[in-house]
Amino acid sequence: MKRLTYYLFSVLLIYISFACRNQSDSGEFNASSDSKGIALDKLGKITPKNSSEISGSYWGIQASTLDPELLKRAADIGVKWTRLHCNWNHVEKVKGSYDWSETDKAFDAILKTGIVPFVTIGHGNPVYSEMTTYDDPKLAEIYGYRPAPPIKDPAAMKAWLAFVKAAIERYKDKITYWEVWNEPNHRNYWGGKPDGEEYGELLNQTAKIIRNIQPNARIIAGSMAGIDPEFAEAFLSIENNADLVDIITYHNYGAVPEERAYPTVRLLEVMKKNNPELKLWQGECGYPSHSSSRDYRGRAPWGLNIQAKWLLRQAFVDTYFCEATLSNYFKLVHMGGRGEKPERSPLTGLDTLFGYPERDGSRVKTKGVNEKCILTNPDLEPKPAYFTYQNLCALMDDSYKVFRTDHQLKVKDQGIFYGIGEEDDAFPSVPLMASFKTAEDNHLIAYWLPWNAQEYLPELGRISLKIQEVKFENPVLVDLLNGDVYELKDFHNQQDNVNFENLPIADYPFAIVERSQINFNTSIN
């Protein structure tokens, strides 16, 4: 009897597992299932757009490849931006001799796709500068040696500026957006102890050369690891820097993307104080689908659906809460060797039990596959995040601008999100909303719960949503995770407000848009 009971219990667990997996394959929300009062009719699936079909967008991806077929896959996502590098140490390997073959190839390849590149020019050069590393032996083991920044040495700085001049003269008719250095507030990428004023001096001299040769250039500064208002204040305070540059960029890796909204408030204050015309971009950030990722790896749980949810949440946090006009996902593909492990120094204490120490997702593995990519390794098949990004790019271009308005969101049923509602008013249990509209007053509303994302959701929550100064004529609900489009009937306009009842809510954004504003395939159900 005990054996039979155990067998039946095992079968039940397997059934539940497959049911959850099948639910995820068709999207987290399933209108045909018992959804506690949510009854929506599916209309079809959103139709993807190629980059060449989109005139302007907030969305980018760092491709990390020059393979034409893979670049075509990037364009098939519908992104409009990508980040490329013009590294001094790769171009000038011998003093006074420039080899532009790789940058020529990279720039020409991406310009054929309809994607706009912004180019990071930087990196110390060992033919001019001494190699340095961390004083902490554990960090030295992880990061290795890097050349000191040229600002430390007059001869190196002279060579750096000569390289900048040669690069801008060569590419001024191809590249408009130039970013000065990568993560200068990070010891490993700056090549020495980070100093905002030192970077500001290098930025100042570099930007003047760029502006003199290419007056129409858009100069990007910061490229900060994380969001670092104090560092930004330091480099913007250097002579005319706030007027020389056009855009400030940040790279804010973190398991909960909404947390970046807090330090951004201070960063925006710094920018507006120095120059109200400065724009903010998110220039590099992604999240791994697997725990075995090299470089930044985040925190448990990991998963393919978790990565896709994180991508969506980052996109709306960047553009709405952080006021960024570009959100660049890192990255499309990585061709590293699977299963590679770095050499480690002997572990001591608890580390022998817990594994190699890391703190808050900091870099712990410098070999293997970077699982932040949205194509698999080595098969190069799209992960769920690839299709999710297609859905977002097809749904929302930059004709939608941030529109701030009041709203009231009430939890009708918490689903599996235990405790959300009036009794819990603390982050991350407060549902969020991001609102946008076009010049023609067509609105786009995204909403979600900023919990730690889960791979599978057996049951969603249910909410009502009242939005001020917004009206809809024929709204549809888009499940951005899988592209499903649903008809919304349970709504009404009242004066200048709109009220929606019985909306599903999850740990990733759903979007409400006018049916006339999107293309979807009605034959896919």
Q: Which residues lie below 8 Å from residue 29, measured CB to CB, with a gap of 6+? A: 35, 38, 460, 479, 484, 504, 506, 510
Q: So what's the pLDDT on residue 358?
A: 75
With a pLDDT cut of 90, the percent of the chain lying above it is 83
Are 381 and 375 in contact by the 8 Å Cβ rule? The answer is yes
Please give the structure tokens belonging to residue 481.
Answer: 């995770």
Task: Find how far residue 53's CA is from the centre of its chain.
Answer: 22
Poorest-confidence range of 17-31, 218-232, 359-373? 17-31
Please give the structure tokens belonging to residue 347.
Answer: 């572990």
For residue 188, the one-letter residue type is: N
CA nearest 285: which of 314, 317, 256? 314
- What string of DSSP letters covers 148-212? PPGGG-HHHHHHHHHHHHHHHHHHTTT--EEEE-S-TTSHHHHSSS--HHHHHHHHHHHHHHHHH
Task: Find how far residue 144's CA is from the centre of its chain.
Answer: 27
Looking at the predicted structure, is the pLDDT value of residue 137 above 90?
Answer: no
Average pLDDT, the chain: 92
Is this structure's pTM higher than 0.75?
yes
Measured CA to CA in angstroms, residue 70 lies from 17, 67, 78, 307 at distances of 34, 5, 13, 20
Are 274 and 355 in contact by the 8 Å Cβ rule? The answer is no
Looking at the predicted structure, is the pLDDT value of residue 434 above 70?
Answer: yes
pLDDT band at 524 (very low <50, low <70, confident <90, very high): low
Alpha carbons 149 and 131: distance in angstroms, whole number: 10
pLDDT band at 525 (very low <50, low <70, confident <90, very high): low
Looking at the predicted structure, is the pLDDT value of residue 483 above 50?
Answer: yes
Poorest-confidence range of 270-279, 297-306, 337-346? 337-346
pLDDT band at 241 (very low <50, low <70, confident <90, very high): very high
* Three-class secondary structure assignment of 261-324: HHHHHHHHHHHHHHCCCCEEEEEEECCCCCCCCCCCCCCCCCCHHHHHHHHHHHHHHHHHHCCC
Are 23 and 502 in contact by the 8 Å Cβ rule? The answer is no
- Angle, CA of 444, 445 and 446, to the nearest 5°: 120
At 13-53, the pLDDT tens digits run 434 443 443 444 444 555 434 456 678 999 999 999 999 99
Question: How many residues are there in the chain?
Answer: 525
**Across the strands, what pairs with 121?**
86, 180
Looking at the predicted structure, is the pLDDT value of residue 355 above 90?
Answer: no
What value does the mean pLDDT take over residues 331-343?
91
Q: So what's the pLDDT on residue 7?
A: 41
Looking at the predicted structure, is the pLDDT value of residue 327 above 60?
Answer: yes
Q: So what's the pLDDT on residue 342?
A: 87
Q: So what's the pLDDT on residue 18?
A: 38
Looking at the predicted structure, is the pLDDT value of residue 310 above 90?
Answer: yes
User: Which position has the higher pLDDT, 502 or 39?
Assistant: 502
Q: So what's the pLDDT on residue 281?
A: 98
pLDDT band at 142 (very low <50, low <70, confident <90, very high): confident
With a pLDDT cut of 70, the percent of the chain lying above it is 92
pLDDT band at 469 (very low <50, low <70, confident <90, very high): very high
Q: Locate the domains of the chain by residue range.
A: 42-46+399-521, 57-395
Q: So what's the pLDDT on residue 339?
A: 87
Q: So what's the pLDDT on residue 38?
A: 77
What value does the mean pLDDT take over residues 230-242?
97
Residue 51's CB is within 10 A of a number of other CB atoms, namely 24
Q: So what's the pLDDT on residue 21?
A: 38
CA nearest 123: which of 99, 148, 96, 97? 148
What's the CATH superfamily of 57-395? Answer: Glycosidases (3.20.20.80)
Q: So what's the pLDDT on residue 366?
A: 85
The dihedral of CA 59, 61, 66, 67: what is its sign?
Answer: negative
At 89-128, the pLDDT tens digits run 999 999 999 999 999 999 999 999 999 999 999 999 999 9
Pairing of β 510-514 and β 443-448: antiparallel
Q: Which residues lie below 8 Å from residue 148, measured CB to CB, with a gap of 6+? A: 124, 129, 130, 131, 132, 156, 191, 192
